[in-house]
Amino acid sequence: MSDPAREAIVQAVSAAVGRGQPTRSDPDTGPSQVAWLPPEEDWEAAAASLQALGDELLVIKGRQELAAALGEITARHQVKRAVRWDHRLLRRLDIDRLLAEQSVDCAAIAGEQDLRSLAAEAELGVTALDALVVSTGTLVMRGGRGRERAVSLLPEVHLALVTPDRRLRAIKDLVPLWQQWRSEPGGPPGSVTLVTGHSRTADIELILVSGVHGPKYIYVLALEFPWDD
Amino acid sequence: MKVRTDRIKEMAAAAAADQGLHQTLLAAAGRFRQLRQGGVAAFDDLEKARDQGRRVKERCLAELDRLLPRLEKQVRAAGGRVHWARDAAAARAIILGLARARGVKRVVKGKSMMSEEVGLNQALEQDGLEVFETDLGEYIVQLAQESPSHILAPAIHKNKQEIAALFADKLGVDYTDDPEELTRIARRVLRQKFLQADMGITGGNFAIAESGTLALFENEGNIRMSTTLPRLHVALIGIEKVVETYRDFDVLRKLLTISATGQKLSTYLSLITGPRRDGELEGPDEFHLVLLDNGRSRILADPLLRQSLYCLRCGACLNVCPVYQCIGGHSYGWVYSGPIGCLLNTQLLPRGQGGPAPFACTLCGACAAVCPVKIDHPKVMLHLRWLMAEDPAWPLPRPPAARLGLSLYAWLATRPAGFRSASALARLLAPIAAPGGKARLTPPAISRWGRTRRLPRWQRPFSQRWPGLRRRLGNREEPS
Ligand code: SF4
Ligand code: SF4
């Protein structure tokens, strides 16, 4: 800690701010409870937000509908390989089998080598959301083991599953959720990614182009059925 | 980046004469204004949010000497390392040192004004490293060996034909000027670079002290790549980017994206706290945060200038500035451009080097009216002019004739009788010396100044003309 640059900078800053009159933080108002939307609320607002971003939300009412939706999406984008998170929701739904029925090879990421080769070659990445912000269509995903960031980043199509109890009204409702994560042992997750729409750029003559580095297409499947039996 | 701020005049003249560039700049600024306007229209109580944002920045900077050590502690607790750089050379040395010690060969970079500020690319390349800018606009600018011209759209000064020719030449691909196709080519080329790179270098929009979290906004996904795939992640930020809490961050993030592109949120927001954790399969093994001062603590010390550090780099002020729209980003001669560039270049570069940019401003106030953290650019601009005029280190023209004229004016202005007689004399002579308001005989000392200016119309004061005016207006009034 005896870094002379550190000492010099902190000292210069301290002198500059004229230490002596500590300013008070704005009172930390606002709820400390996470304001999850009631599970019975419909998906219209979320669907509209995603549509405005050029993406799609599909309400799925049963396993058959899920299989049909997967069939439709994989056919539309000619998906041959998929990668997924090693996540309880995805295991319970047996996503691998459902995709295999569409002749799509799907596997969870098992090791680092996997990550680089599989995710880089797959056309589809499947994840589950920590939260969906309905007013903006924002997908909220914590990173970590079994929740690799690359799955929602490298493939051209990103498919995200969400359950009705994981919805927030507005981005500001993430504040208590973040505070909750932060107070867990180990502090906040090493990475939290918010995705609002698919990758885009307007760097060439301000013409909007989709899918520059990240996915070009995003589908959110809203699971309106008891998947945990 | 090479400092050419002293050449603003010639560069501005050349840019203003370039019709193509002018059209591009107008179109770009118009488009960004439109985007912002769309976002603002749907925004609930922008004024309140701006006040809040201003307060957050005021408080966090007033507390900066406490927040910096707190940030350091939290980053370390999350397994990251913090480096302190007093100036650009120190920042370069730290990052070069890391690259050497870890045997880095390839570097991918996310868009960062900071790296331009410290001249990082050249330093890394001179050391034999391969460096790839990965934001599409930055990549284009790098291939062309130019520098970015707009905070949000670095390659805005190039049209698609130029980009097509550039790609054909440098990447050996078939000529195409279809933006979709060009983007696909860049995606393919850069995807390989991401997968091969050992080090990712980014800036950072905010650093949250209470948790040691770095917040990064983007629309393309290249920053996510740069912070996920390489085994080292180095983030270089100015010390003014630190906020205290996530709640503070939440106030500023909505202002940033709305002001930049009218988005409620950018496509991606990454909140990064330290490197990969035990048992995880991805993410960098090491996370290094480099905190750069480079003149910022000096700016912080001046109560009026301090607001220059509130800037969120949203670019909104550029898109409303009549001067920027006319002369473009490159004319400012260094990293930052437009209204905020006038303030920052002058203050961040060594005394006497920032060039006369604060004088290249009409004081119209359009910038201050849109700034999400209510920076009063014109006020700071005037203060800088005053500081520069007082300080002989600045190579400003100080013609004796102008000085004499101003002293004379000062003398007259404090003597009402003398002032009245002088104005009467001017009114008498005006039709001869300056027919039609254009000075005919400007003394050589101020002839350059006079060339682009009209003389005021010498008239009797308004208070004396009013009775006559009122009579004339009264005559024209409609009978009621
Ligand atoms: S006040 Fe100056 S810097 Fe601001 S918009 Fe007007 S001309 Fe540009
Ligand atoms: S000075 Fe204000 S308007 Fe300009 S870039 Fe900074 S935050 Fe945006």
Cα–Cα distance for residue pair A131/A140, rounded to 1 Å? 5
Please tell me the least confidently modeled range out of B99-113, B209-223, B296-310, B381-395.
B381-395
- For a mutational test of ligand 1's pocket, the pick from B321, B324, B374, B384, i.e. the residue with the most ligand atoms closer than 8 A to its C-beta, is B321
CA-wise closest residue to B396 among B357, B443, B363: B357
Show me where the domains of chain A are located: 34-223
Please tell me the least confidently modeled range out of A94-108, B59-73, B407-421.
B407-421
In this complex, is the C-beta atom of A206 within 8 Å of any C-beta atom belonging to chain B?
Answer: yes
Which of B 68-97 lie inside 8 A of A, CB atoms? Answer: 68-69, 72, 74, 77-78, 84-86, 90
Whole-angstrom CA distances from B361 to B157, B329, B340, B397 are 21, 14, 11, 17
Residue B80 Cα to ligand 2 middle (Å): 30
Whether A109 sits inside 8 A of B281 (CB atoms) is: yes
Nearest to B65 among A10, A136, A188 (CB): A10
Residue B318 Cα to ligand 2 middle (Å): 8
Which residues of chain B neighbour A202 with C-beta distances below 8 Å? 153
Q: Is the CB of B361 under 6 A from ligand 1?
A: yes
Whether B210 sits inside 8 A of A12 (CB atoms) is: no
> Comparing B151 with A31, which gets the higher pLDDT?
B151
Residue A52 Cα to ligand 1 middle (Å): 35
The stretch B280-306 carries a mean pLDDT of 96
Which residues of chain B neighbour A49 with C-beta distances below 8 Å? none
Q: Which atom of ligand 2 is nearest to the CA of B343?
A: 1
Query: Is A40 a residue whose pLDDT tops 70?
Result: yes
pLDDT value of residue B440: 56
pLDDT value of residue A108: 87
In this complex, is the C-beta atom of B228 within 8 Å of any C-beta atom belonging to chain A?
Answer: yes
pLDDT value of residue A195: 98
Query: Is B437 a residue whose pLDDT tops 70?
Result: no
- The answer to whether the CB of A147 falls within 8 A of the CB of A129 is no
Whether A145 sits inside 8 A of B280 (CB atoms) is: yes
Q: Is the CB of B388 under 6 A from ligand 1?
A: no
The stretch A221-227 carries a mean pLDDT of 92
In A, minimum Cα distance to B284 occurs at A190
In this complex, is the C-beta atom of A17 within 8 Å of any C-beta atom belonging to chain B?
Answer: yes
pLDDT value of residue A143: 95
Mean pLDDT of the residues in chain B: 91
Residue B254 Cα to ligand 2 middle (Å): 14
Whole-angstrom CA distances from B195 to A120, A215, B171, B189, B227 are 9, 16, 18, 11, 12
Can you state the angle between helices B160-171 and B179-196, rounded to 10 degrees?
A: 40
Closest residue CA from atom 4 of ligand 1: B367
* SS3 call for B236: strand
State which H helix or E strand residue B235 sits in. strand B232-238
Cα–Cα distance for residue pair B271/B281, rounded to 1 Å? 18
Cα–Cα distance for residue pair A173/A176, rounded to 1 Å? 6
Best of A145, A156, A191 to substitute, by most chain B Cβ atoms within 10 angstroms, is A191
In B, minimum Cα distance to A112 occurs at B281
Phi, psi of B291 (to 5 degrees): -100, 120
CB burial of residue A45 (10 Å; 0-12, 13-18, 19+): middle
Q: Which atom of ligand 2 is nearest to the CA of B370?
A: 3
Whole-angstrom CA distances from B421 to B405, B410, B415, B418 are 17, 15, 10, 5
Query: Is B208 a residue whose pLDDT tops 60?
Result: yes
Whether A13 sits inside 8 A of B153 (CB atoms) is: no
Which pLDDT band, with edges at 50, 70 and 90, does A28 fall under?
A: low
Closest residue CA from atom 6 of ligand 2: B311
Q: What does the pLDDT look like over A134-186, one tens digit per residue?
A: 999 999 999 999 999 999 999 999 999 999 999 999 999 999 999 999 998 88
- The answer to whether the CB of A117 falls within 8 A of the CB of A107 is no
> What ipTM is given for this predicted complex?
0.95
Whether B298 sits inside 8 A of A12 (CB atoms) is: yes
Q: Which atom of ligand 2 is nearest to the CA of B313?
A: 5
Please tell me the least confidently modeled range out of A58-67, B148-157, B374-383.
B148-157
At a CB cut-off of 8 Å and minimum separation 6, what does A125 contact?
A: A82, A83, A84, A119, A150, A151, A152, A153, A154, A155, A157, A158, A159, A215
Q: What does the pLDDT look like over B65-78, one tens digit per residue?
A: 999 999 999 999 99
Nearest to B195 among A116, A179, A214 (CB): A116
Query: b/e string for B192-222 if b means 16 or more Cβ within 10 A?
Result: ebbbebbbbbbbbbbbbbbbbbbbbbbbbbb
Residue B308 Cα to ligand 2 middle (Å): 9
pLDDT value of residue B443: 64
Nearest to A10 among B68, B228, B272 (CB): B68
In this complex, is the C-beta atom of A193 within 8 Å of any C-beta atom belonging to chain B?
Answer: yes
Tokens representing residue B97 in the block = 């040192």
Nearest to B84 among A9, A28, A112 (CB): A9
Which residues of chain A neighbour B63 with C-beta distances below 8 Å? 17, 22-23
Which pLDDT band, with edges at 50, 70 and 90, does B126 fall under?
A: very high
The CATH number corresponding to A34-223 among 3.30.470.20, 1.10.580.10, 3.40.630.30, 3.40.50.10420 equals: 3.40.50.10420
DSSP B56-78: HHHHHHHTHHHHHHHHHHHHHHT
Residue B322 Cα to ligand 1 middle (Å): 7
Cα–Cα distance for residue pair B373/B177, rounded to 1 Å? 39
Residue B370 Cα to ligand 2 middle (Å): 8
Q: What does the pLDDT look like over B218-247, one tens digit per residue?
A: 999 999 999 999 999 999 999 999 999 999
Q: Is the CB of B53 under 6 A from ligand 1?
A: no
* Angle CA A62–A63–A67, to nearest 5: 120
Any idea which ligand is nearest the CA of B327? Answer: 1
In this complex, is the C-beta atom of A209 within 8 Å of any C-beta atom belonging to chain B?
Answer: yes
pLDDT value of residue B435: 65
Q: Which atom of ligand 2 is nearest to the CA of B308?
A: 1
- The answer to whether the CB of A145 falls within 8 A of the CB of A152 is no
Query: Is A22 a residue whose pLDDT tops 60?
Result: no
Which residues of chain B neighbour A24 with C-beta distances below 8 Å? 59
Instruction: DSSP letter for A154, please.
Output: S
Tokens representing residue A18 in the block = 């004229």
CA-wise closest residue to B252 among B408, B422, B60, B90: B60
Any idea which ligand is nearest the CA of B375? Answer: 2
Torsion of CA A203, A204, A209, A212, to 10 degrees: -60
Full set of structural domains in chain B with CATH = 63-243+270-294 (3.40.50.10420), 402-458 (no CATH)
pLDDT value of residue B171: 95
Q: Give one word for B353, left, alpha or beta, with left for phi > 0 and alpha for psi -120 to 50.
A: alpha
Pocket of ligand 2 (CB under 6 A): B 259, 311-317, 339-340, 370-373, 375
In A, minimum Cα distance to B56 occurs at A26
In this complex, is the C-beta atom of A88 within 8 Å of any C-beta atom belonging to chain B?
Answer: no
Any idea which ligand is nearest the CA of B384? Answer: 1
Phi, psi of A14 (to 5 degrees): -60, -45
Query: Is B438 a residue whose pLDDT tops 70?
Result: no
* SS3 call for B190: helix
The amino acid at residue A218 is: I
- The answer to whether the CB of B36 falls within 8 A of the CB of A211 is no
Whether A148 sits inside 8 A of B136 (CB atoms) is: no
Query: Is B57 a residue whose pLDDT tops 80?
Result: yes
The amino acid at residue A17 is: V
The stretch B30-35 carries a mean pLDDT of 92
CA-wise closest residue to B218 among A193, A35, A186: A193
